[in-house]
């Protein structure tokens, strides 16, 4: 295999010359003699058959070809530095990347606040956050597509090796837009709506993101016409728009109720509260995941 003419050393030399403005100043920075830098640049120019620098008074200025080479070369230098840091991180028991699935049902603001504090101390670890819904959240963990799930609803899968801790208890409330017929009926009659009557109204439902397991839904109104969306945020928007009704976490929609955009509908059958969990596989023993769990737990 023929060695490429562009080497890490050559890129470092080009970077130093462009940054310092002269061969002499760059040589001082790199702890080399100016003739050594001239040789490296001249050899690279001969192998590429291009001119990389031109003189402007006492300064060495990059040609258009030199600017392109250095701009792309700096990307390589950054990648090499990152690779070196990640290698050292792994050798010390810290994983280079942590994958997280947040269930659509939770407010991610406190999660991101915890992650921010974690990254302040561990800047070399990459975080990948994705959104899942209901059974899809657990499936992402079981299938090893993520290392940590946050806000996964009960029940916890029976699969061995999963460590789950409850982080919240969610209470749902049935809501509708102020102008929706059910909201008007509820306010006029001033009494709880019978569960059987809810089937007369369109139910906004969030798709379970499960790919392999049987999908399921929380507080789905049986017998009603359904309008499907892919996230809780879309469900809130659809209900505010008057498309239909639906159950949502009370803490998430209270502000909309306070401003009058949504109306809480009292029903005869009260929805049961549901536990939400943070979970991971106990076989994942990376120091980064362990530390992140500590930050999020607090």
- Domain extents for the chain? 8-91, 97-169+275-297, 172-271
User: Residue 71: which pLDDT band, with cuts at 50, 70 and 90?
Assistant: very high
pLDDT tens-place string over residues 130-185:
999 888 899 999 989 999 999 999 888 887 789 999 998 988 899 999 889 888 77
- Classify domain 97-169+275-297 at the CATH superfamily level: Periplasmic binding protein-like II (3.40.190.10)
Q: Other CB atoms closer than 10 Å to residue 37's CB: what's the count? A: 22
Which pair of tokens denotes residue 271?
């929805």
172-271 has which CATH code? 3.40.190.290
List the structure tokens of 184.
Answer: 């008007």
Read off the pLDDT of residues 98-112 as tens digits, 9 standing for 90 and up.
Answer: 999 999 888 899 999
The residues facing 279 across adjacent strands are: 149, 164
Per the structure block, which two tokens stand in for 274?
Answer: 């549901």
For the whole model, what pTM was predicted?
Answer: 0.64
Q: Quickly name the fold that domain 8-91 has.
A: Arc Repressor Mutant, subunit A (1.10.10)
Tell me the pLDDT band of 251, cut-offs 50, 70 and 90.
confident
The Cα–Cα gap between 261 and 239 comes to 9
Domain 97-169+275-297 identical in fold to domain 172-271 = yes
């Amino acid at each position: 295999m023929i060695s490429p003419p562009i080497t890490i050393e050559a890129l470092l030399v080009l970077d130093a010359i462009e940054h310092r403005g002269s061969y002499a100043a760059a040589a001082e920075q790199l702890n080399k003699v100016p003739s050594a830098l001239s040789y490296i640049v001249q050899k690279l120019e001969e192998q590429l058959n291009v001119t990389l620098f031109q003189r402007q008074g006492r300064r060495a200025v990059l040609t258009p070809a030199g600017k392109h080479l250095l701009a792309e070369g700096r990307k390589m230098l950054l990648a090499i530095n990152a690779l070196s840091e990640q290698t050292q991180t792994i050798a010390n028991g810290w994983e280079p990347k942590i994958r997280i699935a947040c269930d659509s049902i939770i407010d991610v603001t406190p999660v991101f606040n915890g992650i921010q504090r974690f990254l302040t101390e561990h800047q070399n670890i990459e975080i990948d956050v994705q959104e899942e819904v209901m059974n899809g959240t657990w499936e992402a963990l079981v299938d090893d597509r993520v290392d940590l799930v946050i806000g996964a609803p009960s029940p916890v899968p029976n699969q061995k090796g999963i460590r789950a801790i409850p982080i919240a208890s969610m209470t749902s409330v049935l809501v509708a837009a102020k102008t929706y017929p059910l909201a008007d009926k509820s306010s006029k009659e001033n009494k709880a709506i019978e569960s059987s009557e809810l089937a007369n109204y369109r139910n906004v439902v969030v798709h379970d993101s499960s790919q392999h397991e049987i999908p399921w839904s929380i507080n789905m109104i049986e017998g009603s016409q359904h309008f499907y969306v892919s996230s809780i945020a879309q469900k809130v928007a659809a209900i505010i728009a008057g498309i239909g009704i639906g159950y949502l976490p009370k803490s998430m929609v209270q502000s909309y109720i306070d401003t009058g955009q949504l109306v809480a509908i009292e029903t005869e059958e009260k929805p049961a509260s549901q536990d939400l969990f943070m979970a991971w596989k106990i076989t994942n023993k990376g120091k980064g995941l362990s530390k992140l769990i500590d930050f999020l737990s607090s």
